[in-house]
């Protein structure tokens, strides 16, 4: 039987045993729950009956003369009713209890309420009613309650005993199947482990022999998984022996081929080194030529840039010179206009000075006339006093006008002198501007000639730079081709070295394979 089938059989037996244990446990637990519910109901009913009895006794001790006696009766009636609704008595006793409440208890409450009403009008008569109705109605009811309480206590004790017995039985009904299932599982496991251990011990001994290099040993075969594994291992060992024999033959041929390839690779590597050295010398010379061409190109390019800058500078200087000549000519015209204006201004100052002299004479004559008028007014006495005041004011005004006229004349004289000096300076500046105008024309002509020469130099330097650039590209192309050749030689040399190393490793592997094959026993 295979290991998987043995495991399935063990699992089936284990599941069956556990299923039986679970079913028995469920049955007993269900019955145990019913027994516990009966015990709980009996105990609850007994407690509620005691609570009802306590409420009835408390009600019987109430004073009928209390003002809130009716409210207390209602509260106790509701409490007893709520407790009675939660009772779980057997059916005959439940009907008996309801009949007691509907007859004796309701009669007692009705007579107690009547006593409370009587107490409002005749307190003496009401005091004897509670004791009388207690003997007639409540005392027999309490006796019946005591019997019910004793019966429920007895029922709770019996239910408790049944519950305890059920618990003991449940333990046995659960533990016995579990113990039997455990014994069955252990027995199956021990049997399976013993068979598996024997097979593994045999395979371990053979594995140690294989580890020691004895490939002639074979695994035990059988119908289970370990037997199938042994059969597969035996087939693998047979194929392995065939492969090792072929590998031994191939290793011998490989060693011979590796030695021959190594010699060829070494010779190719030496040739590559010599060719690489020669290409390096050619590349070095080409690099030097390229550097020289680059340097000449840089100089030609710098000269071309300098010529272009000189050309641009002469063009700007030519434009500035032409603009300067035009500005000098315009400035000369302006200076001529200024000179004429200064001459006209001097004539105008002369006319203003003449008018100021006339005003001064008039002011002096007015002063004399005012003085004479003041003298005549003094002679006239009291009648000429107002005229004297006016004459005095006129005299003061004439005196002020004379003073202002003298001040204006002095200012005009200073201005006229300044105008004459400015006119002379403008004439001198005009002469200098004429000289500058002639010099500007000479400079413009010189700049035109320099501009033409700069254009010629710039064209020549551009041609030189273009030629040098073409030579530089040709030299760079040659350098690139030499670099590619050198790189190819280096890669070829590295490949030869790699082939040499690989062949050496292949020889080492072949030698190691021979040593390994020598340690294996194949026949």
Helix H, strand E, coil C: the string for 88-126 is CCCHHHHHHHHHHHHHHHHHHHHHHHHHHHHHHHCHHHH
Q: What is the mean pLDDT of residues 497-514?
A: 70
| pLDDT value, residue 325 | 62
Task: Give the model's confidence band at 292: pLDDT under 50 very low, under 70 low, under 90 confident, else very high.
Answer: low
Our CA dihedral for 7, 10, 14, 17, rounded to 10 degrees, sits at 150
Q: What is the mean pLDDT of residues 464-472?
A: 65
Say what percent of the chain tops pLDDT 90: 0
Task: Give the model's confidence band at 432: pLDDT under 50 very low, under 70 low, under 90 confident, else very high.
Answer: low
| DSSP conformation class of 382 | T
| pLDDT value, residue 464 | 62
| Residues 65-123 pLDDT 10s | 888 888 888 898 898 888 888 887 777 888 878 887 888 888 888 888 888 888 888 87
Burial of 517 (0-12, 13-18, 19+ CB in 10 A): middle
Residue 169 has pLDDT above 70, yes or no: yes
Class of domain 241-519: mainly alpha
Residue 285 has pLDDT above 60, yes or no: no
Residue 293 has pLDDT above 60, yes or no: no
pTM for the model: 0.35
Between 322 and 264, residue with greater pLDDT: 322
Task: Give the model's confidence band at 493: pLDDT under 50 very low, under 70 low, under 90 confident, else very high.
Answer: low
**d(Cα 209, Cα 204) in Å, to the nearest integer?**
9
Between 442 and 282, residue with greater pLDDT: 442
Task: Give the model's confidence band at 235: pLDDT under 50 very low, under 70 low, under 90 confident, else very high.
Answer: confident
**Cβ neighbours around 370 below 10 Å, total:** 20
User: What are the DSSP calls for 259-324, one per residue?
Assistant: HHHHHHHHHHHHHHHHHHHHHHHHHHHHHHHHHHHHHHHHHHHHHHHHHHHHHHHHHHHHHHHHHH
| pLDDT value, residue 242 | 72
Task: Give the model's confidence band at 268: pLDDT under 50 very low, under 70 low, under 90 confident, else very high.
Answer: low
| Residues 340-359 pLDDT 10s | 766 776 676 567 667 667 77
**Per-residue exposure over 24-58, b if at least 16 CB sit within 10 Å of its own CB, e if not:** bbeebeeebeebbebbebbbebbebbbebbebbee
| pLDDT value, residue 501 | 77
Burial of 458 (0-12, 13-18, 19+ CB in 10 A): buried
Mean pLDDT for the chain? 74
Residue 296 has pLDDT above 60, yes or no: no
Find the length of the chain: 523
Say what percent of the chain tops pLDDT 70: 64
Ordered by start, the domain boundaries in the chain are 3-205, 241-519
Q: What are residue 88's phi and psi, to 5 degrees? A: -125, 65
**d(Cα 449, Cα 313) in Å, to the nearest integer?**
13
Between 110 and 32, residue with greater pLDDT: 110
Q: What is the mean pLDDT of residues 441-465?
A: 66
Token pair 């315009």 is found at 330
Residue 244 has pLDDT above 80, yes or no: no
Residue 518 has pLDDT above 70, yes or no: no
Q: What is the mean pLDDT of residues 176-188?
A: 80
| pLDDT value, residue 162 | 86
Residue 398 has pLDDT above 70, yes or no: no
**Cβ neighbours around 219 below 10 Å, total:** 22
Residue 502 has pLDDT above 80, yes or no: no
| pLDDT value, residue 283 | 63
H-run or E-run covering 427: helix 385-519
């Amino acid at each position: 039987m295979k290991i998987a089938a043995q495991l399935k059989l063990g699992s089936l037996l284990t599941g069956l045993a556990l299923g039986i244990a679970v079913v028995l446990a469920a049955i007993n637990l269900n019955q145990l729950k019913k027994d516990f519910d009966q015990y709980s109901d009996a105990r609850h009913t007994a407690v509620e009956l005691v609570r009802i009895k306590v409420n009835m006794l408390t009600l019987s001790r109430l004073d009928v003369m209390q003002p809130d006696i009716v409210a207390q009766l209602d509260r106790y009636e509701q409490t007893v009713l709520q407790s009675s609704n939660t009772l779980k008595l057997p059916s005959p006793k439940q009907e008996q209890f309801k009949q007691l409440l509907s007859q004796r208890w309701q009669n007692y409450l009705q007579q107690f309420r009547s006593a409370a009403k009587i107490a409002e009008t005749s307190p003496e008569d009401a005091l004897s009613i509670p004791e009388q109705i207690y003997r007639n109605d409540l005392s027999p009811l309490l006796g019946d309650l005591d019997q019910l309480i004793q019966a429920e206590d007895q029922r709770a004790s019996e239910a408790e005993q049944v519950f305890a017995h059920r618990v003991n039985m449940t333990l046995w009904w659960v533990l016995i199947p579990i113990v039997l299932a455990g014994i069955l599982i252990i027995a199956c496991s021990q049997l399976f482990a013993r068979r598996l251990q024997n097979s593994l011990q045999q395979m371990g001994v053979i594995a140690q022999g294989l580890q020691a290099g004895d490939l002639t040993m074979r695994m035990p075969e059988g119908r289970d998984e370990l037997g199938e594994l042994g059969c597969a291992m035996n087939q693998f060992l047979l194929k392995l022996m065939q492969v090792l024999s072929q590998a031994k033959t191939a290793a011998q041929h490989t060693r011979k081929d590796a030695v021959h390839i190594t010699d060829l690779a070494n010779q190719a590597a030496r040739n590559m080194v010599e060719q690489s050295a020669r290409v390096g010398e050619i590349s070095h010379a080409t690099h030097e030529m390229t550097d020289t061409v680059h340097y000449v190109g840089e100089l030609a390019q710098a000269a071309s840039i300098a010529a272009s800058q000189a050309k641009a500078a002469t063009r700007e200087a030519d434009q500035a010179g032409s603009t300067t000549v035009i500005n000098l000519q315009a400035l000369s015209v302006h200076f001529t206009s200024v000179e004429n204006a200064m001459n006209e201004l001097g004539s105008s100052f002369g006319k203003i000075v003449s008018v100021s002299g006339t005003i001064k004479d008039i002011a002096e004559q007015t002063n004399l006339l005012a003085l004479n008028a003041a003298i005549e007014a003094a002679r006239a006495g009291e009648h000429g006093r107002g005229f004297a005041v006016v004459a005095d004011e006129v005299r003061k005004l004439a005196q002020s006008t004379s003073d202002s006229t003298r001040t204006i004349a002095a200012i005009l004289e200073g201005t006229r002198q300044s105008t004459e000096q400015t006119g002379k300076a403008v004439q001198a500046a005009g002469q200098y501007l004429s000289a500058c105008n002639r010099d500007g024309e000479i400079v413009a002509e010189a700049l035109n000639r320099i501009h033409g020469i700069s254009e010629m130099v710039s064209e020549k330097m551009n041609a030189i730079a273009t030629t040098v650039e073409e030579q530089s590209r040709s030299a760079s192309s040659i350098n690139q081709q030499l670099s590619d050749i050198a790189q190819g030689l280096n890669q070829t040399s590295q490949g030869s070295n790699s082939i040499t190393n690989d062949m050496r490793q292949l020889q080492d592997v072949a030698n190691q394979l021979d040593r390994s094959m020598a340690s294996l026993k194949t026949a």
